[in-house]
Amino acid sequence: MLLKVAYWIFTLLMCGLFAFSAQMYFLNTEMVFGFFEGMGFPTWIVIPLAVAKVLGIMAVLTNWNKMLSEWAYAGFFFDVVLATGAHYYAGHGAFGMSFAGIFLVLTSRALLRFR
């Protein structure tokens, strides 16, 4: 029971992190474009990335298809790891905070079997 509660806590925190990110991409698109341009990334990827985050959240929370849920976890993991690298090499100070995202994704995924 405790592991099930822990799973839902970590999963909701992880989904909250990505939901916040996605809504920022949708609502503050010009600001996010500036961030992406500043790090040397194309701006056309912002909206598809936001849509992918929303779909990933839906896949994780519904667990409708086990393989789709696994791909969503993998996508979230790679998103956080690559964002960590991008911010680090761009000289931003958010490097330590990115480990919280990595921790949430890995912990939520590890506790998935107790769902």
Q: pLDDT by residue (tens digit) across 20-47? A: 999 999 999 999 999 899 888 899 999 9
Task: Read off the pLDDT of each residue in 88-110 and give the average, rounded to a whole number.
Answer: 73
- In the three-class reduction of DSSP (H, G, I as helix; E, B as strand; rest coil), residue 28 is classed as coil
Helix 66-89, helix 2-27: angle, nearest 10:
60
**Boundaries of domain holding 8:** 2-114
pLDDT computed for residue 52 by the predictor: 97
**Two tokens, residue 62:** 């519904």
The structure's pTM equals 0.85
Using alpha carbons only, give the angle 60, 12, 84 rounded to the nearest 5 degrees.
85
Number of folded domains in the chain? 1
Digit-coded pLDDT (tens) for 50-97: 999 999 999 999 989 999 999 999 999 899 888 888 877 777 766 556
Instruction: Write the CA distances from 17 to 6, 14, 37, 88, 103, integer angstroms.
Output: 17, 5, 22, 19, 12
Q: Which has more pLDDT, 109 or 44?
A: 44
